[in-house]
Amino acid sequence: MLLTTGPVEMTARTTGAMARPILHHHDPLFLALFERTCAMLQRVFTTEHDVVILQGEAMLGLEAAAASLIAPGDRVLNLVSGIYGKGYETFIRRAGGEAVELAVPYDEAIDPQAVRDALRRDPHIRFLSVVHGETPSGTRNPLAEICRVARSFEVVTIADVVATLGSEPLRPDADGVDVAVAGSQKCLGAAPGLAPIAIGPRAWEIMERRRDPLRGSYLSLLDWRDAWIARRRFPHAPSVTLVYALESALEQLLEEGVDRCIARHASIARACRAGVRALGLRTWAAREEIAANAATAIAAPEGRSGEQIVDHLRERYGVAIAGGEGEMAGRLFRIGHMAGAARPPVLAAALAILERTLHDLGYPVAMDSGAGAAMAALER
Ligand X SMILES: *Cc1c(COP(=O)(O)O)cnc(C)c1O
Phi, psi of 241 (to 5 degrees): -65, -30
With binding defined as CB under 6 A, does residue 77 bind ligand X? Answer: no
Among 53, 77, 162, 347, binds ligand X (CB under 6 A): 162
Cβ proximity to ligand X: between 58 and 299 the closer is 58
Residue 356 CB, nearest approach to ligand X (Å): 28
Beta bridge partners of 297: 334
Phi, psi of 371 (to 5 degrees): -65, -40
Cβ proximity to ligand X: between 84 and 228 the closer is 84
Burial of 39 (0-12, 13-18, 19+ CB in 10 A): exposed
Q: Is residue 167 a contact partner of residue 338, using CB atoms and an 8 Å limit? A: yes
In angstroms, what is the C-alpha Rg of the chain? 21
Binding mask 36-75 for ligand X (x = CB under 6 A): ---------------------xxx----------------
Cβ proximity to ligand X: between 57 and 355 the closer is 57
Binding mask 185-204 for ligand X (x = CB under 6 A): -x------------------
Cβ proximity to ligand X: between 283 and 357 the closer is 283
With binding defined as CB under 6 A, does residue 355 bind ligand X? Answer: no
Residue 86 CB, nearest approach to ligand X (Å): 12
Specify the stretch interacting with ligand X by CB under 6 A; choose among 128-136, 214-222, 236-244, 248-256. Answer: 128-136
With binding defined as CB under 6 A, does residue 2 bind ligand X? Answer: no
Q: Give Cα 282 distance to the centre of its chain.
A: 23
Q: Find the residue with minimal CB distance to ligand X.
A: 135
Residue 88 CB, nearest approach to ligand X (Å): 9
Residue 306 CB, nearest approach to ligand X (Å): 17
The secondary structure element, H or E, covering residue 267 is helix 258-278
With binding defined as CB under 6 A, does residue 99 bind ligand X? Answer: no
Specify the stretch interacting with ligand X by CB under 6 A; choose among 127-135, 271-279, 284-292, 349-357. Answer: 127-135
Measure Cα distances from 202 to 50, 157, 207 in Å: 11, 10, 9
Give the separation between CA 374 and CA 19, rounded to whole angstroms: 37
With binding defined as CB under 6 A, does residue 4 bind ligand X? Answer: no
Residue 11 CB, nearest approach to ligand X (Å): 20
Give the separation between CA 328 and CA 82, rounded to whole angstroms: 10
Among 160, 175, 223, 355, binds ligand X (CB under 6 A): 160
* CA dihedral over 78, 84, 89, 93, signed as positive or negative: negative
Among 78, 129, 135, 296, binds ligand X (CB under 6 A): 135
With binding defined as CB under 6 A, does residue 133 bind ligand X? Answer: yes
With binding defined as CB under 6 A, does residue 258 bind ligand X? Answer: no
Give the separation between CA 343 and CA 171, rounded to whole angstroms: 25
Name which of residues 302 to 341 contact ligand X (CB under 6 A). none
Q: Where are the beta strands (DSSP E) in 173-241?
A: 179-181, 195-199
Q: 3-state secondary structure string, 57-68?
A: CHHHHHHHHHHH
Cα dihedral value 261, 264, 269, 275, nearest 10: -160
Give the separation between CA 165 and CA 293, rounded to whole angstroms: 10
Total residues contacting ligand X by CB under 6 A comes to: 13
Specify the stretch interacting with ligand X by CB under 6 A; choose among 157-165, 241-249, 345-353, 370-378. Answer: 157-165
Measure Cα distances from 115 to 75, 122, 134, 140, 206 in Å: 14, 11, 18, 16, 22
Specify the stretch interacting with ligand X by CB under 6 A; choose among 63-71, 121-129, 130-138, 304-312. Answer: 130-138
- By the criterion CB under 6 A, which residues form the site for ligand X? 6, 57-59, 84, 131, 133, 135, 160, 162-163, 183, 186
